Amino acid sequence: MPDCFEIIHKDLAGRLGRLTTPHGTVETPALMPVVNPHLMMIKPSMLKKLGAQMLITNSYIISQDPQLREAAEEKGLHALLDFDGPIMTDSGAFQLSVYGSVEVQPLEILRFQQAIRSDVCVPLDIPTPPDVPPERAAAELRETEARLEEARASWEGDLLLAGPIQGSTYPSLREAAARKVREIGFDVCPVGGVVPLMEAYRYRDLVQVVAAAKRGLGSGAPVHLFGAGHPMVFALAAALGCDLFDSAAYAIYARDGRYLTPYGTWKLEEMKYLPCSCEVCSSHSAEELRSSPDRVSLLARHNLAASLQEIELVKQRIWEGSLWELLESRCRTHPRMLDGLKSLESMAEDLEKLDRVSKSTLFYLSPQSARRPEVVRYGRRVERIALYGRVLITDMRPSEEDRRSFDHILSFKPPFGPYPHQLAETYPLNAEVPLEPDREALEQALANARKLIQANPAASFQLRLRDVEDADSLVRP
């Protein structure tokens, strides 16, 4: 784990951390607004006022513009942008992926980033698009890795060096790429080549790609998700263990007249109300915003405020251990986001190992709650309950007669299933659940009951449930 990154608190695979750079320490997860040095829609000093701790800009764009280049070389990047906090610079790799070529050598652009004193410098990686033939993905990855080796070998000083992870949509390549990045040793580890996945709402593939990269990296490295700027994805990406995001979206969407929220995007044209209380939305009506000559920059300010606010919410959720609850609601923003969450659920076993054991009261909010790491963990623990004689499992108050005739009486609560009543007030069994369980919760609970029964072949069981007739038959082997 690089010594510039410290993890303070965890929830799922997400974490609160501190990334230390030559221009100060930022708390993560953090959103870095993208600053286009040609077109500063919001001035960096204003970005800071809005709550941005760190920025990202493009060293390639600066280096290709003689005026900007000279100014940056003369007074440094921070004076050029008028921002005294940490700044990350990208290398032009994205221009490479869009235009097919760039007018710069890998070491040259890295030296330039060093010369202008960027806090986090990025070598010129090759962003391989999704779904290319595996031979191409592997060949481009070899080239990226050669450049990363070269970059690291020549690196000295206090500036942080990033090691982008590529590998297209091949989880095995991504995992190997991440292992290589870990082995070479980088201060920040961006997952690259994912913008096309997000643009096409391919959240299931995004989850697979990020999870593969995390497996190769281990949990200690700070991870940047390149190009993740829509607030809708922050909770999901943070839950996977991403620590840094960059947003060009706030400006790009503003230019298109689109209003960002963590629960989706609106066209300003179609809005009658502004459901936000940032400084822009609280001082304009939808109509005033639409007809303002400053509408693009005002909209950009709202978009950024909404994005930064979502980051604060993600942080609070990690802090109190309720990131899963946020995921369940955010992943209902778009049907494909739900695919992303389901893909994350399929990794519940892995998540469960990282997740902390105790947190704030679990809320059962949707069928996705039945696949939470806590429920998976309980499914494993239930087999350890040792029972003998006659056992009653019930969700009703046992009678005096029951107390006399059973050796053990266990309570029953979907999605967990049977549990000793002494645990009723402890995490996670103190969960708030609906009065009427959904099918997923009941099935999970019955599956756990079956496990308990199988683990105790010498005992005899009776299952008695308020709303289920002949519950016994559901768990009979």
Enzyme catalytic residues:
90
Closest CA to 348 of 56, 51, 13: 13
Tell me, by CB under 5 A, how many residues bind Zn ion.
4
What string marks each residue from 176 to 205 as x (binds ligand GUN by CB under 6 A) or -? Answer: ----------------xx-x----------
- Residue 261 site contact among ligand GUN, Zn ion, none (CB < 5 to 8 Å, cut-off depends on kind): none
Total binding residues toward ligand GUN, as defined by CB under 6 A: 13
- In angstroms, rounded to a whole number, what is the distance separating the alpha carbons of residues 75 and 356? 46
CB 56 within 8 A of CB 26: no
* Residue closest to ligand GUN (Cβ): 192
**In the complex, minimum distance from the CB of residue 302 to Zn ion, in angstroms, rounded to a whole number:** 4
Q: Which residues lie below 8 Å from residue 278, measured CB to CB, with a gap of 6+? A: 301, 302, 305, 306, 309
- Whole-angstrom distance, CA of residue 53 vs CA of residue 31: 8
Q: Which is nearer to ligand GUN, 168 or 369 (CB)?
A: 168
Identify what 213 binds: Zn ion, ligand GUN, none; CB under 5 to 8 Å per kind.
none
Residue 338 contacts which entry, ligand GUN, Zn ion, none (Cβ below 5-8 A, type-dependent): none
Which candidate, 214, 213, 224, 261, places its Cα nearest to that of 246?
224
Residue 281 binding target from Zn ion, ligand GUN, none, CB below 5 to 8 Å by type: Zn ion
For residue 315, what are its two tokens?
């942080």
Q: For 468, which DSSP code? A: B
Which residues in the 157-176 window bind ligand GUN by CB under 6 A? 164
Q: What is the per-residue DSSP string for 262-322?
A: TTEEEEGGG-SS----SHHHHH--HHHHHH-TTHHHHHHHHHHHHHHHHHHHHHHHHHHT-
Instruction: For ligand GUN, give the closer residue by CB, 171 or 418.
Output: 171
| Cα 127 to the center of its chain, rounded Å | 20
Residues 273-312 that bind Zn ion (CB under 5 A): 276, 278, 281, 302
Shortest Cβ 270–ligand GUN spacing (Å): 30
Q: How far is the CB of 457 from ligand GUN (least distance, A)?
A: 55
Closest residue by Cα to residue 210 from 241, 188, 187, 186: 241
Should residue 409 be labelled a site residue for Zn ion when binding is judged by CB under 5 A? no
Q: List beta partners, residue 90.
A: 58
| Separation CA 26–CA 311 (nearest Å) | 13
Here's the x/- map for ligand GUN, 77-116, by CB under 6 A: it reads as -------------xx-xx----------------------
Length of the chain: 477
Partner from Zn ion, ligand GUN, none contacting 302, C-beta within 5 to 8 A by type:
Zn ion
Of 85 and 192, which CB lies nearer to ligand GUN in the complex structure? Answer: 192
In the complex with ligand GUN, the residue whose CB is nearer, 106 or 414, is: 106
- The contact set with ligand GUN (CB under 6 A) reads 90-91, 93-94, 122, 125, 127, 164, 192-193, 195, 226-227
- The contact set with Zn ion (CB under 5 A) reads 276, 278, 281, 302
